[in-house]
Structure 1
Amino acid sequence: MRRPMSTDFTQPSRRTLLRTGAGLGAAALSAVVLAACSTGTANGDAAGTPAVSGGTFPVTVKHAFGETVIQKQPQRVATVAWVNDDIAIALGVVPVGLPKIEWGGNDKGSSPWKDAALEKLGASFGSAKAPAQYSEADGINFTEVAKTSPDVILAAYSGLSREDYDKLSKIAPVIAYPELAWGTPWQEATALIGKAMGKETEAAGLVKSVESQIKDKAAAHSAIAGKSFIFGNLEPGKGDGVNVYTASDNRPRFLTATGMTLAPVVADKAKGSKEFFIPWSAEKANELVSDVFVTWVPDDKTTDAIKKDPLLGQIPAIKNDALVAFADKTVTLSLSASSPLSLPWALDNVLDQLAAAAQKAGK
């Protein structure tokens, strides 16, 4: 299990947000599965629009818990955790069930990029074809997932435990993460889900398209090219209030894709680590050397507090006024839960701030 990040003042860590609950016993879970099979989905049979027939089945998908065999193209797709539903929707498949966004979402438990994509598919929340939603505030909601009677459960980007995987597998075949919990690049998650749904060609095209968008839009902000960065979590007034994300996390991966470079101090410290973050003592904050420092905050007051903090204020990028602090939770979500839907949206909402900070770093 990974140690949760210190995030007392606002955002729970991804583990806290998607932490596993006590779950159901095997007998109780079997009863739920039988009930789901007899009653249909929690949202009727409106959702679950299948992909256009493609691919060759059966297919075998390898992952951290072994292999999952999909005998035929899934018609009813359910998802758990972040990102997976975005990928399915981006590939033109409306899930029968997906998690509500508990942090950074709108009043629909959704996001602007998900809403726009579902609208194009004629499955907006509140409509007859909308997916069922379930809360994951207390961990995976096995009962509600089972009620959707899925053919497959997508969790390519997740932090499933072995127990989670085994329980979900009693409901339907599960596509788990390939290696590291919360460490699957969005490109790899897209490829895995595309394979499971018989849409490998479409998935490859989607990845190429989004990568091209990132490259092209970043090129229009030339100030960021080659600039070093650190993406981290800063809590003013706390000696242990610093955590920095490693190259195993999708946030630094996004910045790297824009042409920026992960600061050597983080890259060197994280060598050999499989964690998506590393803790850093605030007493040594001045050693976090980079051109730009990126973080998220609950409000602008916290940004001011960071700048005035006697320790955090010594971070070189902050001293140079090259701090990017995202106060909009939806912006933070778009990078934390990087997906083929969220990243194009993020580009229009973060590049200007990154470029402004990079220009200050260049002075």
Structure 2
Amino acid sequence: MTHRTAHRRTALALACLPFLAACSTGSASSDVAAPTATTSAEADAFPVTVESALGDAVIEDAPERVVTVGYADSDVALSLGVVPIASEKITWGGTAGGSTVWFDDALAEIDGARAPERLDTTDGIPVDEIIALEPDLVLGTNSGLTQQDFDKLTKAGIPVVAYPGDMWFTTWQQSLELAGRALGRTAVADRVVADTEQVIADTAAKYPQLDGATIAYTYLNPADTSQIGIYSAEENRPVLLAQLGAVTPAIVDEVSEPGVFYTTISAERAKDVEADVLLTDAESEADIETIETDPLLSQVPAIASGHWYASTDHVASLPMSAPSALSLPYAMENYIPHVAAAVDGDGS
């Protein structure tokens, strides 16, 4: 069985729970409306009020026209069996159509389902465009929604479920919990969380060298080697690594500020970035060589000893920053093995 086939079957299992509804299995027909859900809302799920950091979403009835913003929220909806009508365009690690391979694979398992319209968020959330779509729910549990966006959408009569705390700190479990309540599918959400946590646990067992390893997730820019970017321990990348057994290095706690997901330090402090492993992303092998031979960055202990990994595969890296039940199996199979290799000293 190929990885993609196995991944599609996993995604389908997450979205197609027999005790709620059966997935569509018939042939698509042009005179039949495209399916918008493979599961049903639970009895007495509505009305419901879902709280977020930007305000409350009051949802009177089961949403049928769902728009998602944030790289992972389209995955969240689909993993609960709901097909969004529009979603944020994925420009980093995405497909040519602005989607992802795991979303497209899961969608392909729903006979006759239409791909969501992809919204360009280069200049911010396109609120007017979303209002014109007449959705009955906007999901943005891990997104760049601002208070102004939230207020304008709410004023237009559209319930909005935003992030529960600071922007960009929402875990994939929190996203599922919020979306499960908003879509009336809390039991589905619980099952998806349990299944996905099992995938992570199985991966941790497969790579025991991750347990107890101090790992720093960073951003190193070969065009500006004067700084080292460090992600907070509460950001999704380090949180996922912690779920695999990794430990936050002292330097991360030292430089991080409450509510700030990312900070920078001078590359003059390269030797202070003490960790068993250093992770970063790169655009090319040439960029990796630039980092590795830079007079300052090469003094980072993990780089000097070969215990680092610079990923040029943005598809595999994307789930680390925008995790979901659909994307995490991909990362566990295609990204984490490289992290384990870096722990063993066989890194970039």
- Normalised by the length of structure 2, the TM-score is 0.85
Q: Match of 2:109?
A: 120
Q: Pick from 227, 232, 235: which aligns with 1:246?
A: 232
Q: Could you tell me how far 1:159 is from its partner in structure 2?
A: 2.3
Q: Match of 1:94?
A: 83
Contact kept? 1:317, 1:361, Cα under 8 Å: no
Q: 1:123 to 1:340 in 2, by over 3 A?
A: farther
Identity of matched residues, %:
36
Answer yes or no: is 1:48 the counterpart of 2:36: yes
Q: Pick from 92, 108, 119: which aligns with 1:134?
A: 119
Unaligned 5+ segments in structure 1 are: 1-43
**Counterpart mapping for 1:6-155 below 5 A:** 46=34, 48-49=36-37, 51-55=39-43, 56-122=45-111, 129-155=114-140
Answer yes or no: is 1:256 the counterpart of 2:245: no
Q: Could you tell me how far 1:260 is from its partner in structure 2?
A: 0.9
Q: Could you tell me how far 1:45 is from its partner in structure 2?
A: 6.5
Letter in 2 for 1:281: S
List per-residue Cα deviations over 1:245-275 (Å, max 9, x = no partner). Answer: 01221111111111111112212332x5210
How many angstroms apart in 1 are the aligned matches of 2:141 and 2:104? 22
User: Which deviates more from structure 2 when the two are superposed, residues 240-249 or residues 197-206?
Assistant: 240-249
Q: Could you tell me how far 1:68 is from its partner in structure 2?
A: 1.5
List per-residue Cα deviations over 1:71-95 (Å, max 9, x = no partner). Answer: 1111111111221111000111101
How many angstroms apart in 2 are the aligned matches of 1:45 and 1:181? 36
Q: Pick from 334, 344, 348: which aligns with 2:329?
A: 344
Contact kept? 2:317, 2:335, Cα under 8 Å: no
How many angstroms apart in 1 are the aligned matches of 2:235 and 2:190? 21
Letter in 1 for 2:273: L
Answer yes or no: is 1:286 the counterpart of 2:271: yes
Q: Pick from 296, 302, 310: which aligns with 1:325?
A: 310
Q: Name the count of aligned residue pairs.
A: 314
Letter in 2 for 1:64: A
Q: Match of 2:19?
A: none
Q: Pick from 152, 156, 173: which aligns with 1:187?
A: 173
Q: 1:209 to 1:239 in 2, by over 3 A?
A: same
User: Which deviates more from structure 2 when the two are superposed, residues 167-176 or residues 46-55?
Assistant: 46-55
Letter in 1 for 2:88: P
List per-residue Cα deviations over 1:264-297 (Å, max 9, x = no partner). Answer: 2212332x52100121110101100000000000
How many angstroms apart in 1 are the aligned matches of 2:157 and 2:236? 29
How many angstroms apart in 2 are the aligned matches of 1:152 and 1:60? 12
**Counterpart mapping for 1:137-286 below 5 A:** 137-169=122-154, 170-236=156-222, 238=224, 240-270=226-256, 273-286=258-271
Contact kept? 2:271, 2:299, Cα under 8 Å: yes
Unaligned 5+ segments in structure 2 are: 1-31
SS in 2 for 1:231: strand
How many angstroms apart in 2 are the aligned matches of 1:207 and 1:123? 27
SS in 2 for 1:279: strand
Q: 1:115 to 1:218 in 2, by over 3 A?
A: same
Letter in 2 for 1:235: N
Q: 1:141 to 1:123 in 2, by over 3 A?
A: farther
Letter in 1 for 2:47: P
Q: Could you tell me how far 1:238 is from its partner in structure 2?
A: 2.9
Q: 1:300 to 1:206 in 2, by over 3 A?
A: same
SS in 1 for 2:224: coil
How many angstroms apart in 1 are the aligned matches of 2:288 and 2:111? 40
How many angstroms apart in 2 are the aligned matches of 1:290 and 1:199? 41
How many angstroms apart in 2 are the aligned matches of 1:45 and 1:100? 24
Root-mean-square deviation (CA, aligned residues, Å) is: 1.9
List per-residue Cα deviations over 1:106-163 (Å, max 9, x = no partner). Answer: 1121111111111112356xxxx22222222222122332232211100111122111
Contact kept? 2:41, 2:183, Cα under 8 Å: no
- Normalised by the length of structure 1, the TM-score is 0.82
